[in-house]
Structure formats: C-alpha cells, structure tokens
Chain A
Amino acid sequence: MKGNDYIIEFKNICKSFGDKCVLNDVSISVKQGEFLTLLGPSGCGKTTLLRMLAGFGSPDSGQILINGTDITDVPPHERPVNTVFQRYALFPHLDVYDNIAFGLKLQKVPVNEIDTKVRKVLKMVSMTDYEDRDVESLSGGQQQRVAIARAIVNQPKVLLLDEPLAALDLKMRKDMQIELKEMHRKLGITFIYVTHDQEEALTLSDTIVVMNEGKIQQIGSPTDIYNEPQNSFVADFIGESNILNGKMVKDRLVEFVGHEFECVDEGFGEDVAVDVVVRPEDIYIMNRLEGSQLSAKVKSCTFKGVHYEMFVDTDKGYELMIQDYNAFEPGSEVGLFIKPADIQVMHKERTCNTFEGEIVDESHVKFLENTFECPEGHGLEAGDKVKIEVTFASVELIDHPEEGMLAGEVHFLLYKGDHYHLTILTDDGDHLWVDTNDVWDKGDLVGINIAPKDIKLVKYND
C-alpha cells in the first residue's frame, strides 16, 4: 500500500455518453472492509460508476485505483472484484453447482478443492442440496443466492452488487438485507452496493454516497445523511421531509413559515436566505396552544401502521407534514413545537436563475440559445457579454410547449410548504428553476416564457 489504507479510490472520474454527461468529477475513497452504498435516482450515474469498477466501460478522464494500483485500463477478467448483477445473469446452460464453480474452474483449482469451496458457499447462502438443480427452475430469491455464491466463492477483495434485491418482493427483500449484512460481517471484505432504495441504503451501509445527475451530493454515514442533509436534493430523497425557504436572522436564530425559531447553526451570516429541513417526526403536535411555537389546523390524518401521517396548515398558510403516534382530528386546532436541534439549516444552492448572454440590440438579448426582449436603456453595445438574472417566481410555465419561447420538461419538483420549486430541463439541455403555485408532475412538457420586465441584465466588470 502506498501510504493510505484505502482499497478503492475513484479520482476525478468524468464520463459522457454523446453530449450527456453521466459522471461529473466524481471522487470517492473506500476503506478496506467498508459497506459503501451508491444511492440515487435512476440515471444518476451510480451503475455507470460501478460498471467502471468492474471493468465494463472506462472513464473519459480520471483514475480508478485498487490498493493504490491504477486499474483504469485493466480488463475485467484481471480485476480482483466480482459482481452480483441486477438480473442475476446466471448461466442457464449450467446447473447451480457449475454456475458457482465457473470461476474456480477457470483458475484451474483442483477438483476436490472446488468441491469443498462450492459446498461451503452453498451452505453460506442456505442453498445446500440445490447443487444439481437447473438454475431456471429456481425462484427469484434462490437465483439471487446462487448469484451471490458464484461471486463470493472466488474470494474477491471487493464484492460489487448492482441493485441485487430490486427484483424481489418486499418480504424477501427485507430478509435478504439482513443476510447480506451478516454475510458482509462474516466475509470481512469490501462491499460496493448500488441502489435507488433509500431505506435499503440506510439499513445496510457504513457509508452512503448520494448521487444525482452525475454528481456526488453528499457522502456520509446513514445517520449523517438522514439528520444533516447538505442540500434540498438529499433531504428530499432520503426519508420524508418538510423543505422550506428560510432566512438566517443571526447565529442560532432562523426564520421560516413566518416565525422565528431557535436553532443550533452558526456562521451563515445575518439575513441570509437558506433552505430549512424539518423531518415530519421531529415536529411536536399538541392539543393546546400554550408552550407551542405556532398554531395550525389539521387538514388530513392517515393511519400508517406505526404512526399517523398528518398534513396541517399553519397560521401563516404553510403546509407541513407531521408524523405522530397520536391521531388529531381533521379540522382541529393544534399547537406545534420544534426543538432547536431538529432544525437543519442548509445553504441555498441558488437564489435566482443566472445565464450567460449577449446583447443583440437596444431591446433584445440572446441567452439559452434564444433571443428575448429585454428592458431598453441598458446602455450596452450589441455583442457585449452580459449576465442575465431571472427570479424563480417570474418564469412563466404554460401547458403547450410550442406556445412558449422555450420548450422543456419538468425534471424535478420540491414542495416548499406554500409553493413548488421546479427544475425544468429545456430541450437544449439547460436547467431553469421555477417557483410556482400551480401543480405540475414530473415529466410534464411545458412551454417557458419570461416577460421582458423580469429580465435583469448585469454587466461584467472587465
């Protein structure tokens, strides 16, 4: 080892398919024996990253190290890793025994040794007595066990698992989670696990890497990720949460939903716009108003097994989700209380849309590959480069894409208590953020208009 105890290091990995960037400067270090999960929605690049580690596909730039050695250009069959594929990928022409023995036979391991090893792993995955079975006659869960046995029998330094439980039913998935965790403990090797199921990630992992759109959003332990999400994407993706616009009044005092709350965060500055996350189970709900920080009216109450899930409207008109063991009747007046430590304050990723553009003439400016009308009297020359600012609320969305100046698709949406914050992906591949009270769904095609008065030009100081 070269001066560190990392078994795997991804260094500044970038990868594009065509003009779509799937991995953007991804760096991860994995410790020996760690259970690391790559978590994110589909298309976030997690599977691409795992496949690179296995040797299927190489990065456009960056390095992959195993035990300090660069393996970026090593072919898959020479890498000390084995993979459990999403749809098992068992060899249908071989029986269970021969599937598991496949790797050992290639290594020319003596027959009696193969026999001992195969029987050992079969026992480990509780599949003894199944060795002569045709793999296609097995159930999904059993095939999964064979796939795991086939990988671990080769004693890899790292086991890669690509959504191995995605095709199983809920009960089976829960059982297999426990078994995987147990297996990880017994084998003592490094597991790299890919999933889009946040609960699975929280249950299994030592470390979670949350990814979205080819970028790492946060790396941390399950408790860190859950309790201290670093941005609204992580907060929204992991568990249920209330994500709200807020303002850091001063150290240890934050304002949101129209009230000021004590909190534990410092160092944001004074009067700074922030995002605030409050988990629904961290809001105390009670029948009386004394001792509460704000009052609210219960809108709906649903039984969820262990707890009740309630939506309330606060006195200042914000909607909050609350989980509590007690049910409160819809229509009843309640008091709410949030402990300082349960308020998670995050820097805002952006406060308005900013684009690079160029002046066309006295009343037109070109940005997002389109020419927009803009307020006159900016005093700039045609061809001047400018920065364009458009507030989230002033972007107008319309139903028919062909009627807008730009066309796009609703890519991501976040409810912020009293409005929706949407991420729009334009047809040219640019991002645009919009605050709106209208209800849109993910994947809706929209037209985008921006009124001339809402376009603010900022000259570059050259």
Chain B
Amino acid sequence: MKRFFAQCYIWLLLIVLYAPIVFIAVFSFTESKVLGNWTGFSTKLYTNLFTGDMQGTGSLMSAIENTLVIALVAAAVSTVLGTIAAIGLHNMRGRGKQAISFLNNIPMLNPDIITGVSLFLLFVFLHVSQGYMTVILAHITFCTPYVVLSVLPKLTQMNPNIYEAALDLGATPFQALRKVLLPLLKPGMISGFILAFTMSLDDFAVTFFTRGTIGLDTLSTYIYTDARKGGLTPELRPMITIMFLGILLLLIVINLRKIRNSNKAE
C-alpha cells in the first residue's frame, strides 16, 4: 500500500513536470494558429518548418544559427579558460585558494538579470558597441565558472605525483601538460563544455541586455519578441518539440556512456 502511494507520488510529479512539453508536442501535430485548438492531425507545421514556407522564416533561421554559433564559441573558449583556471586554482595554497574558489562561485549564484545588467553597464561604460561580440563575451563570462567546477574534481582525484612523474621522465612542463594532464582532465573538460553549451543555449536575460540595438536575435530573444507580437508563430511548436527530443537524446547518450565507464572501471 505504501509502495502504491509512493508510485502515485512519483507519477504525479512527472506529470506536472512534463505536461507543458507534452502539451506543446501534441499540438505541434495540428494546424491551428491558436495553441490549444485541435483542428485535426497534420504534419504541415513540420513541413513548413523545414521547407521554410512560413512567415519570418529568415529571421528564425538566422536566430537558430546565431544561437548555435554563440553557444559553440562561448563553450569552446570557456572550456579553455576554465581548464587553465582550474589547474591554477588547484595548485594554489591556503587563503588565496579559498578566496578564488569563492569568487568563482558568485557568478553561478548571481541571478542572470544582474549579470546581464551589470555587463550591459560595463559595455556602455567602456564604449564598446554592442552586438555579436559582446554577447559572446558575456556568455564566456557566465560559462567559465561551470567549466572550472567540472574540471576541478578531476584534478583533486588525480594522484598529485602524476604531473611530477612526467617531468621526472624527461617531459618539459608543456609536454607534461599535453601528454598527461590534458588526457586525464578530458572527461571533466567534456562535461564542462556540454554544461557551458547548454547554459549558453538557454540564456535569455544576459543576451537580451548585451545584444545592443543591431537587431541580433538568438532563439530565446526571437521567441520572446514573437510571443509579444501577438501569439506564438505556430511553427515554433514543432521546433520546440524537436529541440526537446534532441536534448533528451543527448542526455541518454551521456548517461549510457557514464554507465559503460563505471562498468569498465569495475
């Protein structure tokens, strides 16, 4: 009986969590302009999305492209910066280490809106014309701490003598970094990259404040503007559905990999 209630509770939670997304997915298979109006099964919205036969296609496509480019560049740069920072932080001692770790955590706890506004003010103060560049810089800023946080545990788990062993065997500090340290940090760097990529993908507030007035749109700002213009463009429904499935697939792959790795370790 207790078990039955526990099961019910779980299912209730899952339904509440996933109802909105299921709702959108279901209504992506009907032509109705208004969400919630079922006008019969159709895959027309999907065809529209892929053939570009819809209003504002150009700006949607460029928004998707912007989003992906910004996320990739920001994730790549912050992976490099974050890894270097993590190695430096790991080798620090005493108070300095605590202070820097603390400073690293602040941007993550800081509300996005504050990060966005403060970066906006900074760029205005420095007279940097806002656009693509400032959005990428802003994304790197809030992504880097996540990379630091995913690389650091790999360093603490590592035998402290490993880097020294490489030097001892005749590797220059750079060779030791490339041949020993980086391969061992790779799993942490990959998860840091994925984390940074997804953080950048779904960011709205920071992008909104740092994109300036040149009309640069990412997916989130596009949807926001679109929704304010009087209802969601119907084609966004299949797009959201596809994105959700994409993320789901990615998560499944990551988890399978994790299971396989832990099996191998045993």
Contacts and interface: CB of A to CB of B under 8 A. Distances in A.
Interface stretch (A83-91, A293-301, A343-351): A83-91
A82 to B, nearest CB: 6
A76 B161 contact: no
Which of the four size classes fits the interface of chain B?
Answer: 10 to 19
Nearest to B264: A134
Contacts of B172: 77
B169 A85 contact: no
B168 A76 contact: yes
B169 A89 contact: no
Interface in A17-47: none
Contact of B170 (A54, A86, A90, A107): A107
A20 to B, nearest CB: 14
A75 B173 CA distance: 10
A93 B183 CA distance: 7
B64 interface: no
B53 interface: no
A15 interface: no
Contacts of A151: 168-169
Nearest to A100: B169
Given A106-B171, A107-B170, A91 B164 contact: no
A93 B161 contact: no
A325 interface: no
Interface in B238-266: 265
A75 B170 CA distance: 10
Given A89-B159, A91-B180, A93-B184, A106 B170 contact: yes
B175 interface: yes
Given A85-B164, A93-B183, A106 B169 contact: yes
Contacts of A87: 159, 161
Contact of B165 (A91, A93, A107): A91
Interface string B153-169: 00000010110111111
Nearest to A160: B168
Given A87-B161, A89-B162, A93-B184, A54 B175 contact: no
B165 A85 contact: yes
Contacts of B265: 136
Contacts of A75: 167, 173
B83 to A, nearest CB: 16
A150 interface: yes
B165 A77 contact: no
A89 B165 contact: yes
Contacts of B159: 87-89
Contacts of B167: 55-56, 75-77
B161 A154 contact: no
Interface string A43-64: 0000000000011100000000
Interface of B: 159, 161-162, 164-173, 175, 179-180, 183-184, 265
Given A77-B169, A154-B170, 19 more contacts: A54-B164, A55-B168, A75-B167, A76-B167, A76-B168, A77-B167, A82-B169, A83-B165, A86-B161, A87-B161, A89-B159, A89-B161, A91-B165, A93-B184, A102-B169, A103-B170, A106-B170, A150-B169, A154-B169
23 contacts: A55-B168, A56-B164, A75-B167, A75-B173, A76-B164, A77-B168, A77-B172, A82-B169, A83-B164, A85-B164, A86-B161, A87-B159, A87-B161, A89-B162, A89-B165, A91-B184, A102-B166, A102-B171, A103-B170, A106-B169, A106-B175, A150-B169, A154-B170
Which 3 residue pairs of A and B lie closest in terms of their CB atoms, listed nearest first?
A: A89-B161, A103-B169, A89-B165
